[in-house]
Amino acid sequence: MESTEVDELIEVAKTGDHLAFEELVRQTYADTYTLAFRLVGDEEDARDVVQETYLRALKGLKRFRGDAQFSTWLHRITANCANTYLGRRGRHTHEPLPDDPAIADDHPQRDPEQRAGNKDLRDQLTDALLALPPKLRAVVVLRDIYDLSHDTIAEQLGITESAAKVRLHRARKRLRERLYPLGDEEQARAV
């Protein structure tokens, strides 16, 4: 049950006494804010809801009959304000833009930054491929660039399928060692 002091403040505030209403706000603010925060989940939004709650309470105070406790009545107003606020926020929600927004046209040939990065990578790969012995280079080019099967590579190079697999393994190992020198290999795998 509410104290007689709150009941007296309500009666005085109903007559239009703003100081009495301010005192009601002071006494109920913590509970009202806590409820608003739990309903909207954001401090700023909760403050907006609380402000709207007290504006509605001030406008509707003369209609407060005292059938329920003042705190219950105020909680109902808070819940209604929070629902209205969330509904408005839901209609007007905008996702924040990322600091590094994705490019709308994601074709690498049209993105200068990506093209430059691709050119650097392509140059590194070309240098690494040229550094391989011709037998190993041929296998890796046929498999990884032309996507030929092991048996087709073996047939084209005149070697066994097992030899093609072994050469491919050795070629990839040398490429990895050249592109990711000692210590950088773990970092490359993490990327």
Look at residue 94 in the predicted model and tell me its pLDDT.
59
| CATH level 3 topology of 110-190 | Arc Repressor Mutant, subunit A (1.10.10)
Look at residue 109 in the predicted model and tell me its pLDDT.
56
What confidence tier does 86 reach under pLDDT thresholds 50, 70, 90?
Answer: confident
pLDDT at 122 over 50: yes
User: By the 8 A CB rule, do 90 and 21 touch?
Assistant: no
Residue 130 to residues 23, 56, 80, 151, Cα–Cα distance (Å): 84, 78, 72, 24
Which residues of the chain form CATH 1.10.1740.10? Answer: 4-91
Pair of tokens at residue 156: 């084209």
What confidence tier does 1 reach under pLDDT thresholds 50, 70, 90?
Answer: very low
Quick one: average pLDDT of 112-132? 77
pLDDT at 104 over 80: no
Residues 6+ apart with CB under 8 A from 174: 128, 131, 132, 136
Residues 6+ apart with CB under 8 A from 164: 139, 143, 150, 151, 153, 154, 157
For the segment 138-160, what is each residue's pLDDT rounded down to a tens digit?
888 889 887 889 998 898 888 99
Look at residue 133 in the predicted model and tell me its pLDDT.
86
**DSSP labels, the chain:** ---HHHHHHHHHHHTT-HHHHHHHHHHHHHHHHHHHHHHH--HHHHHHHHHHHHHHHHHHGGG--SSS-HHHHHHHHHHHHHHHHHHHHHHT--PPPPSSPPPSS--GGG-HHHHHHHHHHHHHHHHHHHHS-HHHHHHHIIIIIT---HHHHHHHHTS-HHHHHHHHHHHHHHHHHHHS-TTHHHHHHH-
Which residues of the chain form CATH 1.10.10.10? Answer: 110-190
pTM confidence score:
0.47
For the segment 8-42, what is each residue's pLDDT rounded down to a tens digit?
888 898 898 999 999 999 999 999 999 999 998 88
Helix pair angle (43-60, 18-40), 10° resolution? 140
Pairwise pLDDT comparison (148 vs 172), residue with the higher score: 172
Pairwise pLDDT comparison (122 vs 48), residue with the higher score: 48
For the segment 41-80, what is each residue's pLDDT rounded down to a tens digit?
889 999 999 999 999 999 998 888 888 888 889 998 999 8
Helix pair angle (161-179, 112-131), 10° resolution? 120
**What's domain 4-91's architecture?**
Orthogonal Bundle (1.10)
Nearest C-alpha neighbor of 29 from the set 50, 13, 44, 43: 50
Pairwise pLDDT comparison (159 vs 89), residue with the higher score: 159
Nearest C-alpha neighbor of 49 from the set 23, 75, 22, 18: 75
